[in-house]
Structure 1
């Protein structure tokens, strides 16, 4: 019998219809293209939500990383430290700037950038222009240790918080601790605009410059004049309307993601060889994707195939960047913790529209592999 598909993490519009109110406003005022009141207000509302001075609404989180690197002065030949355990969108913009990525290993305590590996990287490459830190699956990196190391070397820190909107590190929103932060509103993120991103910083001047670059670097002149290379990176007013509505339900989405994670951990955590993603006392995750490590006879592929056979989505942990064909010739600093997490990890369905019945169904399928 066909069973309705359960997704890993799919768009979830508000029950109140907030998004349609703002979209209708965009249509009624004919502000459909980039720029407009929704864009302006989404920037202000998100900045206020996370507690940062300025934000620029952009076409994607990738565009936000690109402009963050540019704002940090990264250019041709510059070295940028980047976690190896991440999605390629973190590393690709380094190449856009003709810079050189050096990939840093994870630690088991956070699954994120290992501070000890970061220190070793600085010893090998003291002339570093920027460090990108990722908050993987909504888990905060150990920002206290990382920031201390980066400040000692006077290097810019860019937080890739694409997966961690709503996550706190010691009471501060991830994405607001470094010099620049980026968020993603891709369809699978905790809130979505269908596609889009945001660059945030307490440096209002740099954010204003990023907006300028994102709008084709059009100079203030009667005619079209461009003194710098520009990009078509601004968010549309319609998309921003979706974002404004979604932002109103962010706390609800975080609460449901946490509920899903705790459900899985309670029901599956005692199985032989199962270990769930870590949580630290200074970390309040958004639990974007509930993920676990399997070290026994049941392997990640066993889980993924069993769920797939029941029309349920799951995914491996990200394949590290230094193992990717495109990036394999760039340097890697570490001890293969990221590789082990990739080989043993699986991301479970974490869709906020799931019912208890759905989660029970998933749990029973997985438990069946241990019988």
Structure 2
């Protein structure tokens, strides 16, 4: 069988940037918990996205958790959350014993629908925070969403786990709200094997988040803890991988765009095929290339055909309000996110994929229409 084609797998730099920083950590014996790589990764990523401060953490999930805590979300507070996302977005709301209310998507962005969000504000004026997702590297409609959050004086948290390198009107996603989070999981556009970053222009809140992330250890000779803490700080070795990966982010974004353009050019003329939206104000990283199918060929047909040829693909995220754990919580919207889930499929978007492999993928898919 041919070599497996992955959906999105780790891609280390050809230049060996990652090994350089990791070797430095070993040579100086700064293996854990902190060190120059952690400090460097925080400052370099903050500079990259033009945010004032950043905290390197063990995961994007940890970053969302601390963002909610920093925003003052507590027991029984309501948090509006994008429904079309991975569960890691919604889980930290429960960690804080808060109440999620899930917000539908729109077809224009595949992200949080501003009309549904406004309806939710009218229904729940006591809401404490809005947690939106930039899905698959597509930017949400930030002008409308930030305006609504300012109107109702509510904290905005951006889950930009999938959108590092994406711009909305020339500004990095993850930097419009009070807090932004990025993920460096193994399948993300750059990876540290596992890890995340919390960014904000509120430097005091980031300092506080670092404090919470290191078990809330007070400044005392003995171990003293006046607040509940968490073991969320990124290690110096992992941060070294991140520093190296950050150097090739622009290359990875360019390849993701190339992959999306290839699929769209080759497959858009097939009956019932539509691709993720592309708005004039959005400069996506196209972390994953996804399409919807509304004709005779179904997403499962595509996924089965590819899997038979050792090629990985995936459904679009199943909305949170349809998940067994979260279905008891309220949902505001229509059926857009459900339709995207039912009709959507994510195609192989690995940045190591060759033209020959891309041609193989599209030929298998085209064969379903013959």
Same fold (TM over 0.5): yes
Q: Distance in 1 between matches of 2:359 and 2:235?
A: 40
Match of 1:321 in 2: 320
Describe how 1:81-120 pairs up with structure 2 within 5 A.
81-120=80-119
- Separation in 2, partners of 1:80, 1:133: 10
Query: Where do 1:182-221 residues align within 5 Å?
Result: 182-221=181-220
What is the CA–CA distance in structure 2 between the aligned matches of 1:298 and 1:190, rounded to whole Å? 29
Which segments of structure 1 move beyond 4 Å, counting only runs of 4 or more? Answer: none
Structure 1 partner of 2:5:
6
TM-aligned CA deviation for residue 336 of structure 1: 1.1
Distance (Å, rounded) in 2 between the aligned partners of 1:127 and 1:257: 40
Corresponding residue SS for 1:128: coil
Aligned match of 2:143: 144
Query: Which structure 2 residues correspond to residues 257-276 of structure 1 after superposition, within 5 A?
Result: 257-276=256-275
What TM-score does the superposition give when structure 2 sets the normalisation length? 1.00
C-alpha distance in 2, partners of 1:80/1:306? 40
SS of 2:128's partner is strand
Q: Aligned equivalents of 2:34 and 2:237: distance in 1?
A: 9
Query: Aligned partners of 1:170 and 1:218: how far apart in 2?
Result: 41
Could you list the per-position Cα deviations for residues 176-231 of structure 1 after superposition, in whole angstroms to 9, with x for gaps in the alignment?
Answer: 01100000000000000000000000000000000000000000000000000000
CA deviation after TM superposition for structure 1 residue 34, in Å: 1.6
- Whole-angstrom CA distance in 2 between matches of 1:78 and 1:174: 26
State the alpha-carbon separation in 2 of the partners of residues 290 and 43 from structure 1.
29
1:111 and 1:156 map into 2 onto residues whose CA distance is 22
Q: Measure, in 1, the Cα distance between the counterparts of 2:77 and 2:168.
A: 29
Q: Which residue of 2 is the match for residue 295 of structure 1?
A: 294
Aligned length: 370
Question: 1: distance between equivalents of 2:312 and 2:236?
Answer: 32
Aligned to 1:9, what secondary structure does the other structure show? coil
| Per-residue deviation, 1:23 | 0.3
SS in 1 for 2:5: coil
RMSD: 0.3
Distance in 1 (alpha carbons) for counterparts of 2:82 and 2:56: 25
Q: What corresponds to 1:73 in structure 2?
A: 72
Partner of 1:128: 127
Per-residue Cα deviation, 1:246-288 (whole angstroms, up to 9, x for no partner): 0000000000000000000000011000000001000000000
Q: Deviations over 1:144-164 (max 9, x none)?
A: 000001100000000000000
Residue pairs, 1:218-233, within 5 angstroms: 218-233=217-232
- 1:348 correspondence with 2:347: yes
Structure 2: runs of 5 or more not aligned: none
CA distance in structure 1 between the aligned counterparts of 2:180 and 2:368, rounded to whole angstroms: 41
The equivalent of 1:370 in structure 2 is 369
Distance 1:133 1:51 in 2: 20
